[in-house]
Amino acid sequence: MQLALTILMDGLIYASWLFVVALGLTLIFGVLKILNIAHGSLYAVGAYMAANAVTFFAAWGFGGWYALLAMLLAAAVTALLLGPLLERGLLRLFYGRDEVILLLVTYALFLILEDAVKLIWGVNPYYVTEPYQLFGNVAFESMFYVGYDFALIGLAIVCGLIVWFGLNRTVFGKIVLAVIFNREMSASMGVNVDRVHLAAFTVGVFLAAIGGAFTAPMISVQPGISVSVIIVSFAVIIIGGLGSIEGAAIGAVVVGLARAAAVHLFPEAELFSIYLVMAAVLVFRPEGLFQRAAARKI
């Protein structure tokens, strides 16, 4: 019983991290139809920016809880700088071409950003460990958890709710949904599709950056952190169904629990756990758990 609770807890903590990262990926796919391989690099940029911002704030005497604000601002700045730059400056040039072409464009972007990050921040590690202690420790059974881990669950829920509310309960959100559903029809009804693309991509970048920013306190920010993010977040949104927010949530929970169960019960199998879940889901529900069946054309 205690083991089951531990697995549940560990699984949910990991799932919340996965969800924040995957949410931006699934949003960008939903609106722009781009499976963004560079998502991991944007996550890394967010982590570096957060490391700088927290240090900067602390140097001006805004330590402690202000660090959370600093991390939020870092993600926002990253999104506002990179979102428009990449969408207007690069991706726009390739709209209308095949999904695979766009996938490869983001692969090229990933290569470029890897070196760009290295040119800007160098290879030395950055640390921002102070925020990790802000929430203290929580005793559970015979062990501790760090309060920050639970704060991450809160962050994931808040991010998910805001994006869901923004899409389903606001006028602009409805327009975005219309574009997701049928781009040509929306354009002919007078929707400024360009603006929707820009907004969706920027929000997607923000979500990647916030994932990186709030992970920064738990890791050493250095080259190589982007690669590990890409494949797991891909797996999450494929399990959940590409472009679906609910799907990303379910996918994250499924992957998180599967991994936690593997670590506690069959540590030898951890390496496969994610891919096996992904393959199994694809075999039984090829379009993911939360995807409507596609209509076939005649």
Minimum CB distance to another protein smaller for 77 or for 263: 263
Q: Is residue 188 at the binding interface for another protein, with CB under 8 A as the rule?
A: no
Contact at 8 Å (CB) between 240 and 288? yes
192-208: burial string, b at 16+ Cβ within 10 Å, e else: ebeebbbbbbbbbbbbb
The Cα-based distances of 71 to 45, 136, 156, 269 in angstroms read 12, 18, 15, 35
Minimum CB distance to another protein smaller for 75 or for 255: 255
Closest-CA residue to 33 (of 107, 112, 114, 101): 101
Gap between the Cα atoms of 132 and 146, Å rounded: 8
Closest-CA residue to 126 (of 200, 218, 194): 218
Q: Is residue 194 at the binding interface for another protein, with CB under 8 A as the rule?
A: no
Figure out which of the listed residues 17, 48, 206, 290 binds another protein, where binding follows CB under 8 A. Answer: 17
Figure out which of the listed residues 182, 189, 192, 194 binds another protein, where binding follows CB under 8 A. Answer: 182
Residues 81-110 that bind another protein (CB under 8 A): 90, 93-94, 96-101, 104-105, 107-110
Q: Is residue 116 at the binding interface for another protein, with CB under 8 A as the rule?
A: yes
CA 274 to chain centre: 17
Minimum CB distance to another protein smaller for 69 or for 276: 276
Minimum CB distance to another protein smaller for 198 or for 255: 255
Residues 138-157 that bind another protein (CB under 8 A): 142-146, 149
Q: Is residue 263 at the binding interface for another protein, with CB under 8 A as the rule?
A: yes
Q: Is residue 282 at the binding interface for another protein, with CB under 8 A as the rule?
A: yes
Gap between the Cα atoms of 194 and 187, Å rounded: 9
Name the minimum Å distance from CB 76 to another protein.
23
